[in-house]
Amino acid sequence: MGLSFEMLLVTSCIGALQSAFFGIYLFTVRKGRTIANVLLGLLLLAFAIRISKSVGYYFSNDHVIPDLLMNFGFGTNLAILPLLWLYLNAFLKKDYHFTWTRDFVHLIPALLSLALSPFLTDYFWMNMSGYATSLLSVVAYLPFCVGLIIKHFGSLTKSQRMWVISLTVGVTMVWFGYLGNFVFGLVPYIASPVMFSVMIYFLSFLAVKEGAFLMREVKYQSSTYTVLQIESCYNELQQLFSRAQPFKNASLTLPKLAAQLGVSANLLSETINKRFGQNFPDFINSYRIREAQVLLGKSSNDNQKIATIAFEIGFNSLSVFNTAFKKFTSMTPSAFRKSLRKE
């Protein structure tokens, strides 16, 4: 056995082991455990089985492995992209709830193939396009995953952005490694397990360093407010902001806004958190920044100082406005204005 063979074996094996360890850990933690973490744990366990199948196939004599291991590997292959999609929904949407009618359907193909594992053969996966179909699921899910991240990107912290981007890019690279090998013959089969090992250890590093996978913990789990109360507050809040634009008041606070609505500050805070996925300052600033974008986009305001616009929409500091604007748009107000003029 040569050194390169040993290195490939060790590198590809440790990725599967680390993924299994990480997934099991997410099921054992108590503090901060949410549906997002459960889905992430399932995703990592599915990957661990998939990679184990690949390692077993690549390093076995004549690439022959038991049918049951092969079927489990291919079956979990059908679950990886759907689990990534469900996890991103749970992580990015604070009001997300897993529902059987809407979400479980994504996992039915994987569960069916796993249930049929004792009966399926290599002929089904290779000659009846079972494996190719599972690989092409990336076409169905990846655009929606990317679109979901883009939609919620502004509400994430820097570490959360790094987390979802790293996870999605890592899964995509591993997936295209398998696709590139089987469909196009461009890369060796073992490339995907090796890439996965790099990915899982980088994700583990992020998780330990930032605690990113636990940061979207659901608040108000012991809420005393009913769904009807929160929905009513949400509707009244939207109407007030559309009609009176209270966010333009620089001295606006949570208690003052709650008084305008005739509700308690706690109910308003919970409504903003659950329905908008933001805390109060970010919620107010999101409206202010959207208004700033409208004003900066008007050619009639080209001679208007940015500081004047900042004060007009409710900021009492230009530096605070610049920081908030960059947080929500990833560019400064002046750069945003210039980009519009170029267009």
Residue ranges covered by each domain of the chain: 3-214, 227-342
pLDDT tier for residue 213 given thresholds of 50, 70 and 90:
low
More confident call, 217 vs 122: 122
Fold annotation for 227-342: Arc Repressor Mutant, subunit A (1.10.10)
- Residues of the chain above pLDDT 70, percent: 92
Look up residue 99 and give its DSSP letter: -
**Whether residue 308 has pLDDT greater than 90:** yes
Q: Do the beta carbons of residue 60 and residue 5 sit within 8 Å?
A: no
pLDDT tier for residue 223 given thresholds of 50, 70 and 90:
low
pLDDT tier for residue 2 given thresholds of 50, 70 and 90:
very low
* Mean pLDDT for the stretch of residues 10-37: 82
CB atoms within 10 A of CB 88: 24
What is the SS3 assignment for 89?
A: helix
More confident call, 110 vs 8: 110
CATH of region 3-214, choose from 1.20.1070, 1.10.10, 3.10.450, 1.10.3470 = 1.20.1070
* Mean pLDDT for the stretch of residues 14-35: 82
Please say whether the dihedral angle defined by the alpha carbons of residues 308, 310, 315 and 317, taken in this order, is positive or negative. negative
Amino acid 169: pLDDT: 95
- Residues of the chain above pLDDT 90, percent: 45
d(CA 166, CA 105): 26
The length of the chain, given as a count of residues: 343
The one-letter code for the residue type at 17 is L
Amino acid 243: pLDDT: 92
Amino acid 343: pLDDT: 60
pLDDT digits (tens, 9 = 90+) for 156-177: 777 888 999 999 999 999 999 9
Amino acid 220: pLDDT: 55
Residues 6+ apart with CB under 8 A from 301: 295, 309
What is the SS3 assignment for 303?
A: coil
Q: Do the beta carbons of residue 181 and residue 188 sit within 8 Å?
A: yes
d(CA 174, CA 170): 6
Structure tokens at 70: 């092969």
Amino acid 211: pLDDT: 61
Task: Name the average pLDDT for the chain.
Answer: 86
Amino acid 221: pLDDT: 54
Pick from 29-38, 283-292, 301-310 the range whose average pLDDT is largest.
Answer: 283-292
